[in-house]
């Protein structure tokens, strides 16, 4: 299958997860992610603003606020076709942006080299920690410059044995699902 065929199939699969089951899955994923933050004494993270059928990141953001973990969110720069990062202290500092995804409205720039953990969204992940996103390449370009851990957040339904990989595709270090942690470090 092509990446586009996989993307279509996996988006449909993710969308069809029952809402009650999805809530339980989100809680398990958030708990595992928070456990990782705690056991590794993480001081700063980059979160994505979950939308649609993505793994929910709002419990994680609330935890980070409560524990004073510096949290950045990405904002799409349409001219450079890259993600810019900004520190966010509260949810009110996020407003609808690119494709109506919540983006920072603050001017407090964050640098990727100052981020300990990057939470990475995806449509599909494989057991070698490669991912397929929405096709914009934003996270592949961002992960080129990472210093900390990149962690994919996914429902177990999004995991496949092997994805088609191109030279520019970047792996994450770990994938946290509602059933397991897949490590590639």
- Domain parsing of the chain, residue ranges: 3-183
Could you say which of 3.40.50.10420, 3.40.30.10, 3.30.470.10, 3.40.630.10 is the CATH number of the domain covering 3-183?
A: 3.40.50.10420
What pTM, to 2 d.p., does this model score?
A: 0.94
pLDDT tens string 144-159: 999 999 999 999 999 9
Closest alpha carbon to 64 in 30, 92, 95, 96: 30
Pairing of strands 131-132, 124-126: antiparallel
pLDDT tens string 36-87: 999 999 999 999 999 999 999 999 999 999 999 999 999 999 899 899 999 9
Q: Are 23 and 53 in contact (CB under 8 A)?
A: no
6 burial via Cβ count (<10 Å: 0-12, 13-18, 19+): middle
**Distance separating alpha carbons of residues 96 and 103, to the nearest angstrom:** 6
């Amino acid at each position: 299958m092509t990446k586009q065929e996989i993307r279509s199939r996996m988006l449909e699969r993710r969308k069809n997860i029952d809402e009650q089951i999805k809530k339980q899955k989100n809680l398990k994923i958030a708990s595992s992610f928070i456990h990782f933050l705690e056991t590794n004494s993480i001081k700063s993270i980059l979160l994505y603003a979950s939308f649609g059928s993505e793994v929910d990141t709002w419990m994680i953001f609330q935890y980070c606020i409560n524990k004073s973990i510096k949290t950045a969110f990405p904002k799409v720069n349409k001219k450079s076709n890259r993600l810019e990062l900004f520190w966010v202290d509260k949810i009110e500092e996020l407003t609808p942006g690119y494709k109506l995804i919540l983006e920072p409205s603050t001017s407090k720039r964050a640098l990727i080299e100052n981020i300990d953990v990057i939470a990475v969204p995806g449509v599909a992940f494989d057991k070698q920690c490669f991912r397929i996103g929405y096709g914009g390449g934003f996270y592949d370009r961002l992960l080129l410059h990472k210093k900390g851990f990149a962690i994919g957040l996914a429902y177990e339904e999004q995991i496949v044995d092997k994805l088609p990989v191109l030279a520019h595709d970047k792996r994450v270090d770990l994938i946290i699902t509602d059933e397991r942690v897949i490590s590639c470090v």
